């Protein structure tokens, strides 16, 4: 299957199925709620601490959610290839619903953290199973336009999450950021229950790779903890980080050996023998690395250098997400029309590379239009790339591996973001502390630089004008180092995009024939 469709012919359009559209609307609602909960909490954290306390555990309100997603994603993907996806989706929706209710009712920080982890398990299920169900219902030739809608929903959640969290915390109370999920998830549950067929099981015995689950969960948990603690709570060379790194490496090595010998492996190694899936996994890793770096450090730049409030900084990031949503929608429809996809990640990664390069030039006096141009190019690049990744991976996967292929792609993006943020955070802190320790700044200014992770505008305003200008200059230099590192990941992404193979997009679905060897055979490289 190495050929490609003719460039002069478009793929015939299939008529829209109302039942498919109904199911897709339910999946969109669920995905929107799950994506929103990754960003909605950040601006409400001060209100949460003021109500339930636990300032020293504050970061775990976010970390518990991310950790649960990382650990659960590959497990759910494997289960989706064994059990009916509708049943698993209903369990995921119920888990997320219960987790949301319990988060809103939490009376202490440990309770809230535990409930956020439960929410994360449900969110992982929603994300993986939604994409797998779409793979069942919609052929790859038609799936591009639907992926465009999905990416637009993610962009909307990214922009609106901090705004909704801040508004809810300042008006009706922080608990409502969780209660708002209830009608959305309830509507999704009703649609899924009524309109989605139960489907068939894989026909295989439900053998669970318990050793694989334990080993991978342990390794992923350690990697996420290393990413969260390294360079902040502990030095990268400290004993806890070194021990956890060695333990994670050992667990991963043992996990690979177990996967080689297990009859029903949690993450089949044959996936990575497929050149398309292998390239997609690496490419989405770099995309996650770059995306989270931009979305984390650019708001910090806008707040400190330009004095924007958290909400205003979020609004000034909106053009990037708006352009991403529009580009993803347009590219998704173009893929459906042309039946080709390889050109879009190539153009997208090149565009993202130019955008990151522009952002790397930001200083304390950079005009707003230059920032806007850099962010818009990054959004356009991500919009051209993101819809293609899941489509290309699912199109190349064997029928029996659709669920685990979906979860592997999602997992790679999430781990890229988590580990990328750790690397970029270390680059930022090292650059800033190094520059403010050069001996050319005052002791008070050096203290501010050494505590850059908690620096805020009030501290800056308390400094004298020369000291404030000097620190902001050092901050801009540290941001430059961060974005140059992200630029390196973007360059790798460009190279990977050129390695991505073009394969004809199938015009058949696999939802009703997961155990059919003929269907599985057509996807083999």
pLDDT digits (tens, 9 = 90+) for 427-485: 887 777 665 555 444 444 444 444 444 455 555 666 666 776 777 777 888 888 888 99
Top pLDDT among 283 and 55 is at: 283
Same domain, 220 and 316: no
pLDDT category, 167, cuts 50, 70, 90? Answer: confident
160 with 186, same domain: the answer is: yes
Confidence at residue 77, expressed as pLDDT on a 0 to 100 scale: 87
Give, in order, the Cα–Cα distances in Å from 200 to each of 19, 21, 264, 460, 499: 18, 21, 19, 61, 35
408 phi and psi angles, rounded to 5 deg:
-65, -40
**Quick check: 61 and 113 in contact, CB under 8 A?**
yes
pLDDT for residue 190:
92
Span 22-29, mean pLDDT?
A: 87
Report whether pLDDT(520) > 80. no
pLDDT at 440: 45
Q: Which domain holds residue 21?
A: 16-197
How many residues can be counted in the chain? 525
The pLDDT value given to residue 443: 45
Decide which of 244 and 235 is more confident.
244
| Residues 470 and 413 grouped into a single domain | yes
The reply to whether 56 falls in a domain is yes
Q: What is the mean pLDDT of residues 302-322?
A: 76
Task: Answer whether residue 193 shows pLDDT above 60.
Answer: yes
- The larger pLDDT score, comparing residue 202 to residue 33, is at 33
Q: In this structure, is residue 315 part of a structural domain?
A: yes
CA atoms within 13 A on the CB side of 27: 28
Predicted pLDDT of residue 377: 94
Same domain membership, residue 445 and residue 333: yes
In the chain, the percentage of residues whose pLDDT exceeds 90 is: 21
Domain shared by 406 and 451, yes or no: yes
pLDDT beyond 60 at 233:
yes
Domain membership flag for residue 8: no
User: Per 3-state DSSP, what percentage of the chain is helix, strand, and coil (rounded to 5)?
Assistant: 75, 0, 25
List of residues 6+ apart from 300 with CB closer than 8 A: none
Supply the Cα-derived Rg of the chain in whole angstroms: 23
Report the number of distinct structural domains present in the chain.
3
Give yes or no for a contact between 331 and 345, defined as CB atoms under 8 angstroms apart.
no
Average confidence (pLDDT) over 269-273 = 85
Asked if residue 141 has pLDDT above 70, the reply is yes
Q: How far apart are CA 288 and CA 66, in angstroms?
A: 13
* pLDDT tens column, 384-441: 998 788 888 888 888 778 888 888 888 888 888 878 877 887 788 777 766 555 544 4
Last residue of a domain, one of 263, 283, 305: 263
Q: What is the CATH number of the domain that holds 429?
A: 1.20.1250.20
Rounded Cα distance between 277 and 391, Å, is 10
State whether 225 and 344 are in the same domain: no
* 57 and 171 fall within a common domain: yes
- 172 and 73 both lie in a single domain: yes
The residues that bridge with 234 in the sheet, in sequence order, are: 230
| Res 232: pLDDT | 67
Task: Please say if the pLDDT value at position 55 is more than 60.
Answer: yes
Q: What is the pLDDT of residue 249?
A: 93
- Which parts of 262-307 fold into alpha helices (H)? 275-305
* Structure tokens, 126: 């929603």
- Evaluate if residue 6 carries a pLDDT over 70: no
Whole-number Å distance between alpha carbons of 395 and 508: 10
- Residue 4 inside a domain? The answer is no
- Regarding whether 479 and 341 lie in a shared domain, the answer is yes
* Residue 28 within a domain: yes
pLDDT at 136: 82
pLDDT at 7: 38
Tens digit of each residue's pLDDT (9 = 90 or more) over 218-227: 998 888 788 7
Do 449 and 379 fall into the same domain?
Answer: yes
Q: In this structure, are residues 279 and 500 in contact, taking their beta carbons and an 8 Å threshold? A: yes
In the listed set 263, 278, 307, which residue is the last one of a domain according to the structure? 263
CA-based nearest residue to 67, from 220, 214, 211: 220
Q: Please indicate, yes or no, if residue 6 is contained in any of the structural domains.
A: no
Asked whether residue 165 falls in the same domain as residue 289, the answer is no
Which DSSP state fits 43? G
- How would residue 329 be classed by pLDDT, with cut points 50, 70 and 90? confident
- Asked whether residue 203 is assigned to any structural domain, the reply reads no
Q: What is the pLDDT of residue 44?
A: 77
pLDDT in tens, 82-127: 888 899 999 999 999 999 999 999 888 889 999 999 999 999 999 8
In a domain, 7, yes or no: no
- The chain-wide mean pLDDT, for the chain, equals 80
Max avg pLDDT among 231-235, 409-413, 520-524: 409-413
Q: Are residues 231 and 372 in the same domain?
A: no
pTM over 0.85: no
Which H or E run contains 501? none
């Amino acid at each position: 299957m190495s050929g490609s469709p003719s460039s002069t012919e478009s793929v015939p359009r299939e008529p829209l199925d109302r039942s498919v559209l109904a199911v897709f609307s339910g999946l969109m609602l669920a995905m929107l709620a799950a994506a929103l909960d990754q960003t909605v909490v950040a601006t409400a954290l001060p209100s949460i601490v003021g109500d339930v306390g636990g300032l020293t555990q504050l970061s775990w309100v976010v970390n518990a959610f991310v950790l649960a997603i990382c650990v659960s994603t590959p497990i759910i993907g494997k289960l989706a290839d064994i059990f009916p996806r509708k049943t698993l989706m209903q369990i995921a929706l119920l888990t997320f619903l219960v987790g949301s209710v319990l988060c809103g009712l939490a009376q202490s920080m440990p309770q809230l953290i535990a409930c956020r982890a439960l929410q994360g398990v449900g969110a992982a299920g929603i994300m993986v199973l939604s994409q797998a169900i779409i793979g069942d219902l919609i052929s790859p030739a038609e799936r591009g336009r639907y992926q465009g809608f999905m990416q637009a929903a993610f962009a909307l959640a990214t922009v609106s999450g901090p705004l909704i969290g801040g508004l809810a915390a300042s008006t009706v109370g922080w608990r409502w950021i969780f209660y708002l999920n209830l009608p959305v998830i309830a509507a999704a549950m009703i649609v899924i229950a009524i309109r989605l067929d139960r489907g068939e099981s894989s026909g295989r015995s439900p053998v669970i790779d318990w050793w694989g689950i334990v080993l991978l969960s342990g390794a992923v948990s350690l990697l996420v903890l290393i990413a969260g603690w390294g360079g902040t709570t502990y030095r990268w060379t400290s004993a806890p980080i070194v021990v956890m790194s060695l333990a994670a490496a050992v667990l991963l090595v043992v996990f690979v050996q177990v996967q080689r010998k297990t009859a029903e492996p949690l993450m089949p190694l044959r996936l990575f023998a497929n050149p398309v899936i292998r390239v997609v996994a690496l490419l989405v890793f770099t995309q996650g690395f770059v995306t989270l770096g931009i979305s984390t450090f650019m708001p910090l730049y806008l707040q400190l250098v330009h004095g924007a409030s958290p909400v205003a900084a979020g609004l000034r990031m909106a053009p990037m997400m708006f352009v991403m949503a529009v580009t993803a929608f347009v590219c998704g429809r173009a893929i459906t029309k042309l039946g080709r996809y390889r050109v879009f990640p190539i153009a997208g990664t090149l565009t993202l590379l130019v955008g990151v390069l522009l952002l790397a030039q930001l200083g304390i006096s950079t005009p707003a239009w230059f920032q806007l141009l850099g962010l818009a190019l990054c959004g356009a690049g991500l919009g051209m790339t993101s819809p293609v990744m899941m489509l290309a991976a699912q199109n190349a996967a064997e029928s029996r591996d659709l669920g685990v292929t979906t979860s592997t792609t999602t997992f790679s993006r999430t781990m890229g973001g988590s580990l990328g943020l750790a690397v970029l955070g270390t680059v930022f802190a090292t650059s800033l502390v190094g520059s403010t320790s050069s001996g050319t700044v005052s002791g008070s200014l050096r203290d501010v630089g050494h505590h850059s992770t908690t620096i805020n505008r009030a501290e800056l305003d308390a400094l004298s004008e020369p000291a404030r200008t000097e620190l902001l200059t050092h901050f801009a230099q540290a941001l430059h180092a961060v974005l140059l590192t992200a630029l390196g990941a973007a360059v790798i992404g460009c190279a990977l995009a050129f390695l991505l193979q073009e394969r004809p997009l199938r015009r058949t679905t696999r939802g009703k024939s997961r155990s059919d060897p003929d269907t599985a055979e057509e996807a083999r490289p």
